[in-house]
Amino acid sequence: MSVSIFDSFLTTTEIIEVFDDAAVLQAMLDFEAGLARAQAAEGLIPSKAAEVIAAQCRIELFDVPAIVTASRRAGSMAIPLVKALTKAVAEKEPSAATHVHLGSTSQDVIDTGMVLVTRRALHLMDGKLEELCRGLLQLADEHLHTPVLARTLMQPAQVTSFGFKLVGWAAPLMRAREQLREAGKRALQLQLGGAVGTLAVMGEKGQTVMRRLADELGLAAPQGTWHTQRDEWVRLGLEVAVLAGSLGKLAKDFSLMSQGEIAELAEPSGAGRGGSSAMPHKRNPVSCMIALAAAGRVPQKAAALLANMAQEHERGLGNWQAELAEWPSLFISSYGALAAMTEAISGVQIDTTRMLKNIDALQGLVFAEAVSMYLAGAIGKPAAHALMEKLTGEAVANNRPLSDVVTEAVQHDEQLLNKIDIATLQGLFDPEVANANAASLAKAQMLELLEALN
């Protein structure tokens, strides 16, 4: 397939090549070659004919642009391809030409061709997901005890562990990898049913031909034709869309942490990367941009798959064709996001000093809940909450560290002073103490994820 300059900008050459016109047509020819061999093995066509057919199933022997152009008039990519194959076979052995595409139909060859190229796309995704997840989990291990601000509703909330945040980014990607594998097992099936799905032309040999062909192509043999039963196929596409959404989440967080005012993370640097045509000082998070662009486009593609599931009777009119058109771009966009974030994580620059500065800049307010819970042990939760509301207000109004304000309040209250350990109280304002629980949780989850990855 050809993609626009703006599509190619948001993805990689390797995934575009998977769904390239020649690659898809070659996959369809692989179906035709396998079909001929399977039918010959069952005595439906002569072995010599199968050999001649298979020998001509090489895309370099065909005019790909001409076939693509002809398909618009024919209404199917398979029709001009089979016609060209039949002609090529006839030139080698006229008697073999009558056996080309025997008992099959256009949707059989196109669906199976799409299954074969999709398998390659999933293989690429699986490898890249492993790389990204390993990168995230390695960083998580290194930063289990690195304090960083957690933010809720776009506002500073509490101190957490950066390792905890990294594990939170990795977990949905690990789940996506598992789900894609499972969905792939169910969806990567041979399509072979003939005109209306009954394998009528091949008669009693139909099922054995199907099993032979499935084995040759390394695909599952379906329970029956799925010409208009698109459930497992669409589920696979939806899992790809969910992956894109999780990558968008990672990209959104990463880009927010890369903002100049935050400056906790930065994408890899290098000549020509992330620059501005007008502002030399800028360092734009281009990998995050690519992933966010994909995450913004993919839901519409997933919706199109769902919208076109109501396919008429034994062959859809327009809806199957719409699904085919959306399918490659769904994978191309999602893989582009995956590759972009893998690159970003592989060379991410982490400023732990800035993370601490951002915590310190809040004058201890992010530790207020922990302090309130500690005070509650002495004076009860309602009184502790009311006191901390008052003290945080004083800290903000007077631009003072909350730790100083709280310590002074305790020291001037004899009842509190007898019940509160000042050292313990001040320790609650230590970021390393504050992120200890998050670090412990992150380590446990990280070990589970690593075990699953290995």
132 and 257 co-located in one domain: yes
296 and 383 co-located in one domain: no
Rounded Cα–Cα distance for residues 405 and 424 (Å): 15
Burial state string for 145-175 with b = 16 or more CB within 10 A and e = fewer than 16 = bbbbbbbeeeeeebbbbbbbbbbbbbbbbbb
Q: Looking at residue 45, what DSSP letter applies?
A: S
Nearest to 97 by CA among 53, 130, 153, 140: 53
- Supply the DSSP string of 47-62, one letter for each residue: HHHHHHHHHT--GGGS
Quick one: how far is CA 271 from the chain centroid? 28
Helices (H) then strands (E): counts for the chain? 20, 4
Last residue of one domain, picked from the residues 327, 361, 395: 361
Q: Looking at residue 391, what DSSP letter applies?
A: H
Strand partners, 160: 148
Q: E strand or H helix at 151, and its extent?
A: strand 147-152
Strand partners, 147: 161
In which domain, by residue range, is 421 found?
Answer: 362-453
On the 0-12 / 13-18 / 19+ scale of CB atoms within 10 A, 144 is buried
What Rg, from alpha-carbon coordinates, does the chain have? 30
211 and 244 co-located in one domain: no
**What's the pLDDT score for residue 280?**
44
On the 0-12 / 13-18 / 19+ scale of CB atoms within 10 A, 270 is exposed
88 and 152 co-located in one domain: no
Contacts of 331 (CB under 8 A, 6+ apart): 15, 18, 19, 118, 121, 125, 240
Catalytic residue among 151, 235, 315, 354: 315
72 and 140 co-located in one domain: no
Active site residue 119: no
Last residue of one domain, picked from the residues 327, 342, 361: 361
Whether this model's pTM surpasses 0.85: yes
352 and 292 co-located in one domain: yes
259 and 387 co-located in one domain: no
279 and 386 co-located in one domain: no
Q: Looking at residue 350, what DSSP letter applies?
A: E
Last residue of one domain, picked from the residues 361, 389, 410: 361
Active site residue 276: yes
Give the count of beta carbons closer than 10 Å to the beta carbon of residue 176: 23
178 and 307 co-located in one domain: yes
Nearest to 338 by CA among 195, 164, 129, 182: 129
Which ranges of 190-270 does DSSP label H, i.e. alpha helix?
206-217, 231-258
Which tokens is 20 given?
């390239």
Rounded Cα–Cα distance for residues 267 and 411 (Å): 47
Longest dimension (CA), the chain: 107
209 and 84 co-located in one domain: yes
User: What's the CATH code of the domain at 210?
Assistant: 1.10.275.10
**Residue 4 lies inside a defined structural domain of this protein:** yes
Contacts of 43 (CB under 8 A, 6+ apart): 205
Contacts of 424 (CB under 8 A, 6+ apart): 374
- Taken in order 259, 264, 265, 266, the sign of the CA dihedral is positive
Rounded Cα–Cα distance for residues 89 and 97 (Å): 5
Catalytic residue among 47, 95, 269, 276: 276
User: What's the CATH code of the domain at 131?
Assistant: 1.20.200.10
**What's the pLDDT score for residue 414?**
87
Contacts of 325 (CB under 8 A, 6+ apart): none
Q: Where are the beta strands (DSSP E) in 314-398?
A: 349-350
368 and 409 co-located in one domain: yes
330 and 372 co-located in one domain: no
Nearest to 358 by CA among 140, 146, 137, 136: 146
Which tokens is 443 given?
């380590």
Strand partners, 266: 349
Per-residue pLDDT tens, the chain, 454 aa: give them: 678 888 889 999 999 999 999 999 999 999 999 999 999 999 999 999 999 999 999 999 999 999 999 999 999 999 999 999 999 999 999 999 999 999 999 999 999 999 999 999 999 999 999 999 999 999 999 999 999 999 999 999 999 999 999 999 999 999 999 999 999 999 999 999 999 999 999 999 999 999 999 999 999 999 999 999 999 999 999 999 999 999 999 999 999 999 999 999 999 976 555 444 444 445 789 999 999 999 999 999 999 999 999 999 999 999 999 999 999 999 999 999 999 999 999 999 999 999 999 999 999 999 999 999 999 999 999 999 999 999 999 999 999 999 999 999 999 998 889 999 999 999 999 999 999 999 999 999 999 999 999 8
